[in-house]
Amino acid sequence: MALGIDIYRYQTVTDWNAVRNHGVRFVYVKGTDGGGPALVRADAQVRGAQSVDLPVGLYHYAQLSPSPEAQANVLTAEVRRLDATGLPPALDLEDPHRPGPAARDFAFRFLNQLRNNGFQSVTLYGNTSMLTGITADTIGVPNTIVWAAQYGPNNGVRHPLRYNGRANIHQYTSVGGVPGISGRVDLNESLTELPGADMPLTQDDVNRVANAVWEQHRPLLHDWSVMNPMWVWLVGANMGAWEAATRPFPPAPDPEEAVRRLAEVIAEPLKEEMSRQSGQMDPDAMAVAIARRFIRTEPPQPDA
């Protein structure tokens, strides 16, 4: 769990180091509103958060018009202009929208357009009445982070989130205090790991990348005189992408020697990755098993 803030034009940040030293670990800034940027642009606040290495993203306050796709494009343009990609772009769905089918359709179309614009993950913000009214859990947009607002007595202290749906972030007060920020501020707690905070890619994402890398490097795999470093990335860093990684491999003149050489290359990134994991797995044995998956160690049998 981590402490986060979301800020907009009424907040003045005087000391970003004090904000970070207080324990804040992620920042959302209001970037756009309806068909255009917020009345005061987010430049200063985004640059301030970035100056102390805090992940920062933008949120969009949804209006009834223009279309959800047009509003998503407005947010996309501002995220790209500011390079505010430390957190997934967020849709703030509240008044004048009302819980129900129309708001659900708006959210689906907006978030789907963000995905079409190239964002792997997206965020949906609303109070728990809105999230329940649009059945946010089944919104149908992959990699949607749910950001739920529920304050309880709203006294600056976090109270348990009482919501039956899934939530990744809990906005628990609008009257919080953070050193370095003038006035009250919205406080949030992440309930799961956030992207920007390195959310893992889905298997579909991994396979798409692995396919692209394979097609780029395939012409280089002409013989066994070169152990192309592409395999370290493709196999070692993306274990499990067998659908994309298992392609016809050039025949090896000495299969056992090929297994040994490939396993040595794969083992290094495996050891680095597994040093961060718990358990008693043997990276050298795993590297050999992975290498054997790509290299046939028995001669092919003639067709019957």
User: What mean pLDDT is reported for the chain?
Assistant: 81
Split at pLDDT 50, 70, 90, the class of 289 is: confident
Average pLDDT over residues 61-72: 97
Average pLDDT over residues 112-132: 96
Average pLDDT over residues 120-139: 96
Domains and CATH numbers, the chain: 2-190 (3.20.20.80), 203-294 (no CATH)
pLDDT at 270 exceeding the cut of 80? no
Average pLDDT over residues 243-272: 67
Tokens coding 210: 């692995």
Average pLDDT over residues 62-86: 96
pLDDT at 167: 93
pLDDT at 145 exceeding the cut of 70? yes
pLDDT at 254: 78
Highest mean pLDDT (candidates 29-38, 242-251, 268-277, 285-294):
29-38
**Comparison of pLDDT for 133 and 224, the residue scoring more:** 133
The rounded distance, in Å, linking the Cα atoms of 225 and 228 is 9
pLDDT tens per residue across span 237-247:
444 444 444 44
**Comparison of pLDDT for 208 and 95, the residue scoring more:** 95
Reported residue count of the chain is 304
Average pLDDT over residues 94-113: 97
Query: How many other C-beta atoms can be found within 10 angstroms of the C-beta atom of residue 195?
Result: 22
pLDDT at 303 exceeding the cut of 80? no
pLDDT tens per residue across span 2-48:
899 999 878 899 999 999 999 999 999 999 999 999 888 999 999 99
| Percentage with pLDDT > 90 across the chain | 58
